[in-house]
Structure 1
Amino acid sequence: MSDIDPHAGEGIESAGAPPQATERALILLHGRGDSSAGILRLVDDIYERGVRYLAPAAAGRVWYPGELTDPVTDRRQAYLDSAFGQIERALDETEAMGVDPEEVVLAGFSQGASVATEFAMRRPRRYGGLVALAGGLLGPTDEIGPREGTLDGTPAVCGVGTEDPHVSVEHAEATAAALSEMGAAASAETYQGVGHAIGDGAVETLRRLTSRD
């Protein structure tokens, strides 16, 4: 077990419904170079009554070293484990509000998308949803595969822009396929003409997976 735990002292910002009125939750993980406050700006576009939005922070605004398709080394895994600790703390907060994981959507952009996806696959169960925007499972695309356990029908979307220079459509599709093999109701979505950014299509994906309509 590693003693590297860079994200342990970082906070979790929140917005939306007050704890006593929270029925569902969305955990948002920011990308490299961004912040909790930055990713929470999405709430203006996806706000829904009864939803609590929680945004854990990464130390130095970086969740893990390296690029998406780099192999997962022991050092990189230690950073991931620390990032998972931030998600677990956010889940503890939602549980204290009386919200079960089945009513919690995990979502992230870029590095945050990879952390959210890796967490769901390594802590498999039924979640309210999973949204990976411009990110996916870590490692070479042709080595992506399922893990043990089941996601038990968790709705999941891996979304990527067709002009993204960092994440290929093939990588998003391979991630969605691995999620499907673990029992998620998963699909890959492409956003035409979008680069490494959160465009209108990605916002609509988030809105759809957090809405009860």
Structure 2
Amino acid sequence: MHQKKIFAAGKSLNEAEKALVMVHGRGAFAEDILSLAGYFNIKDYALLAPQATNNTWYPYSFLTPPQQNEPWLSSALNILKQVEADILAAGISSNNIYFLGFSQGACLMLEFITRYAKKRGGAVAFTGGLVGDKIYKENYSGDFLQMPVFIGSSDPDVHVPVERVRETVTVLKNMHADVTVKIYPSMGHTISTDEIEKANTLIFK
């Protein structure tokens, strides 16, 4: 099971009016995702990046049946729930809480915000989709109340099929998220300059 190990940057929770939770990908470190902070318009935010045990949020592909990724998947989702609770306890409102993730971290982040949908500040998913061998709509509840979401991905991508990205967008829109999706031909499994610009324009504005 994951241990709650949070790396922080930017302003402290007690000083900041906004907070961004940054979720790293498979095989990476919290410091890696925090190192992207300089590219975004978030200089006044508190930045929190949880660290996955053994650098992996769950052992298998996000496209396998969810029970095969247990108990790690539920443990990882619980870590994000705890981080959000800590931010709220510090006096930052849901409207000022943002989420960002890359690859496995984007999948986990999208799964979390959709299982507990509400109006947050916004979310940025760099190459990700909802978790499972299929879409389990019964896992998702709440209303995004037009929360802005940006999802960028490559077609093709070695880990995240564009079909799952589109399925994810449909679920989020049906739950009243204001979703912008951009699919980049043969971009590769990376984060592009255009995606960073979109995140700044649409989410961190």
Q: TM-score, normalised by structure 1?
A: 0.87
Pairing of 1:1-213 with structure 2 (within 5 A): 6-7=1-2, 9-73=3-67, 75-140=68-133, 143-144=134-135, 146=137, 147-212=140-205
In 2, distance between residues paired with 1:159 and 1:36? 21
1:165 Cα deviation from its structure 2 partner = 1.6
In 2, distance between residues paired with 1:149 and 1:20? 28
Change (3 A) 1:162 1:67: same
Ranges of 4+ aligned residues in structure 1 off by more than 4 Å: none
The SS at the match of 2:61 is coil
The SS at the match of 2:172 is helix
Gaps of 5+ in 2: none
Q: Is the 8 A contact 2:13 2:19 kept in 1?
A: no
Q: Is the 8 A contact 1:145 1:178 kept in 2?
A: no
* Cα RMSD, aligned residues only: 1.8
* Partner residue, 1:3: none
Deviates more, 1:90-99 or 1:150-159: 90-99
In 1, distance between residues paired with 2:43 and 2:28? 26
In 2, distance between residues paired with 1:14 and 1:162? 33
Q: Is the 8 A contact 1:145 1:175 kept in 2?
A: no
Q: Is the 8 A contact 1:105 1:209 kept in 2?
A: no
The SS at the match of 1:19 is coil
Q: Is the 8 A contact 1:180 1:186 kept in 2?
A: yes
Q: Is the 8 A contact 1:22 1:52 kept in 2?
A: yes
Deviates more, 1:40-49 or 1:28-37: 40-49
| Alignment size in residue pairs | 203
Q: Is the 8 A contact 1:26 1:210 kept in 2?
A: no
1:40 Cα deviation from its structure 2 partner = 0.4
Change (3 A) 1:175 1:153: same
The SS at the match of 1:60 is helix
1:67 Cα deviation from its structure 2 partner = 0.9
CA deviation profile, 1:126-176 (whole Å, cap 9, x unmatched): 111122211110123xx3264232122111122102342211222211111
CA deviation profile, 1:83-140 (whole Å, cap 9, x unmatched): 1222122213322332112111111111111111111111121111122211110123
In 2, distance between residues paired with 1:188 and 1:44? 23
1:184 Cα deviation from its structure 2 partner = 0.8
Q: Is the 8 A contact 1:25 1:54 kept in 2?
A: yes
